[in-house]
Structure 1
Amino acid sequence: MAEHHLPPESGGKGSVHAGDLKPARRRGYSYYYGDGAGSSEPLRTVCFVVLVILLLAGITALVLYLVYRPASPSFAVTSVAVYSISSVAANSSSAGAGAGAPNAVAASFQCALVIRNPSGRASARYDRLTAYVAYRGEAITAPAEMPPLVQDPDSAVVVAPVIGGAPVPVSPDTAAALANEVSYGVVSLRVVLLGRVRFVSGPFHRGWRSMYARCDLLVGVRSKDPGVGDDRVPEAPLLGNPSCDVDM
């Protein structure tokens, strides 16, 4: 039979016993990469501070916007004086079937416009203001230029420009329809005001914005009696409630 030999016990100085083994010490990688918990704490603090600053800045901007936000101005026509309104016939010497038909309107008005600035903290500045009167979508007066205007917060101002005078070319249908309404004594007109407006809210100065205001009127026209020696301009009554719209 084969003999089994056990390995000889090593009792030399180089022998290693189980009791001599000690757990290996973990290498410190924090020398190269830093400690994870300790290095992320300052970064989190900086991010939190930045977030709080941005949040406070946003809230402050929102509050200032709500406090100093300007409102659009409102317009109203309180009275209209009619100087003249008549259709002008074409040159009778012109050839063609349309000779002698009215193709222009000579009209002149004075409109009292109330401009109100409803903003309680913003003043309004108006520039390049022009006004004209339209009938059925066609201008029957030339644009009348108005001086610049500065308006305090929460205030109203009345302007009364004289609009028109010289004949303005219109289509024959418009001239005929206007003459027909004048004969009946009631004319539907539109007063248009163009320009630009700028709001100044405390330390904030906004840029210029285009403005387009229009007021629809139903005017009662009275014919002046030539036998009465009265040179006063007849004030045309406003029928109904004139409505004004503003686009900016």
Structure 2
Amino acid sequence: MPQGTTKRSTAMSPSAANPARLLCSAILVFILLAGITALILYLVYRPSRPHFSVLSTAIYQLGNGTASAAVPATAITTTMQFTVLIRNTNERASIRYDRLSAYVTYHDQAITAPAPLPPLYQERDSAVAVSPVLGGGPVPVSGDIAAGLMTDEAYGVVALRLVMLGRLRYKSGPFHSAWYGMYVRCDMLLGAKKGVSGQVPLLGTPDCDVDI
């Protein structure tokens, strides 16, 4: 009777597993751990946008029209100063501001030229006030804008918008964010009459919309 032959097992031991499969598994585990770490850091350090509000306004010139060969009759000269409070409400992140500028609009038309502002660094959970002086030179406007501004001054209430532009970045411990563009709009009602110079009342407490 022929002797039975012994069959060899074809199962592979763990040590003989495909190296490429092990490498893929290690990469997947690394990506998963990196994603979890990034999510935890985001939840812990995620910053909120700064808060802007206008504290006071001074008007030294508002819509003074000029007419000459060099300056058209529809050009107006406005000089104003605003005190703006900037609050960084982040408890873990400081903020650096750069390329800042500001100007004033009336009915969506600029009545001052953009004025550059110095860079600003703000510690976490802090507030700082800035007081830029804007205007001082003639700015061309439409006839309707010039007439509307004169009418509002005669009435004693003028609606203006302060616009601040720039970019910011956050710093949380050793982590730095990318630079983000910033657009701030502060809509105000001012108790301003023709010929009055200096501090004017703010009708209400205007907060500002901040887009980042």
Q: What interval of TM-score do these two structures reach, taking the shorter chain for normalisation?
A: 0.7 to 0.9
Q: Per-residue deviation at 1:148?
A: 1.0
Higher relative contact order (CA 8 A, sep 6+): 2
Q: Per-residue deviation at 1:145?
A: 1.6
Which residue does the alignment assign to 1:16?
A: none
SS at match of 1:67: helix
CA distance in 1, matches of 2:115, 2:28: 55
Contact 2:159/2:187 (<8 A) preserved? yes
Q: Deviations over 1:141-199 (max 9, x none)?
A: 11122111110001110000111111110011111111111111100000000111121
CA distance in 1, matches of 2:149, 2:193: 14
1:180-219 mapped onto 2 (5 Å cutoff): 180-219=151-190
Q: Deviations over 1:16-74 (max 9, x none)?
A: xxxx2333333x374xxxx3354449998877666554433322221111212221111
SS at match of 1:167: strand
Compared with structure 1, are the counterparts of its residues 214 and 75 closer, same or farther at alpha carbon in structure 2 (3 Å cutoff)?
same
Structure 2 unaligned regions, length at least 5: none
**Residue 172 in 1 paired to residue 143 in 2?**
yes
Contact 1:222/1:236 (<8 A) preserved? no
CA distance in 2, matches of 1:151, 1:52: 39
Which residue does the alignment assign to 1:36?
A: 12
AA aligned to 2:80 is F
Q: Per-residue deviation at 1:244?
A: 1.0
Contact 1:221/1:236 (<8 A) preserved? yes
Which residue does the alignment assign to 1:243?
A: 207
Q: Per-residue deviation at 1:87?
A: 3.9
Q: 1:64 aligns with which of 38, 41, 54?
A: 41
Q: Deviations over 1:192-242 (max 9, x none)?
A: 0011112111111122221111100010103447xxxxxxx4211111232
Compared with structure 1, are the counterparts of its residues 57 and 86 closer, same or farther at alpha carbon in structure 2 (3 Å cutoff)?
closer
TM-score after normalising by structure 1: 0.75
Which residue does the alignment assign to 2:75?
A: 104
Contact 1:87/1:176 (<8 A) preserved? no
TM-score after normalising by structure 2: 0.87
Compared with structure 1, are the counterparts of its residues 50 and 86 closer, same or farther at alpha carbon in structure 2 (3 Å cutoff)?
closer
Answer with 1 or 2: which has the greater Rg: 1
AA aligned to 2:163 is V
CA distance in 1, matches of 2:20, 2:96: 49
AA aligned to 2:4 is P
AA aligned to 1:36 is M
CA distance in 2, matches of 1:73, 1:168: 31
SS at match of 1:83: strand
Q: Deviations over 1:111-169 (max 9, x none)?
A: 00011111111111111111111001111011122111110001110000111111110
1:227-238 mapped onto 2 (5 Å cutoff): 233-238=197-202
Which residue does the alignment assign to 2:2?
A: 21
CA distance in 2, matches of 1:41, 1:142: 69
CA distance in 1, matches of 2:92, 2:81: 32
AA aligned to 1:24 is T
Compared with structure 1, are the counterparts of its residues 129 and 80 closer, same or farther at alpha carbon in structure 2 (3 Å cutoff)?
same
Structure 1 unaligned regions, length at least 5: 1-19, 95-100, 226-232
CA distance in 2, matches of 1:159, 1:78: 10
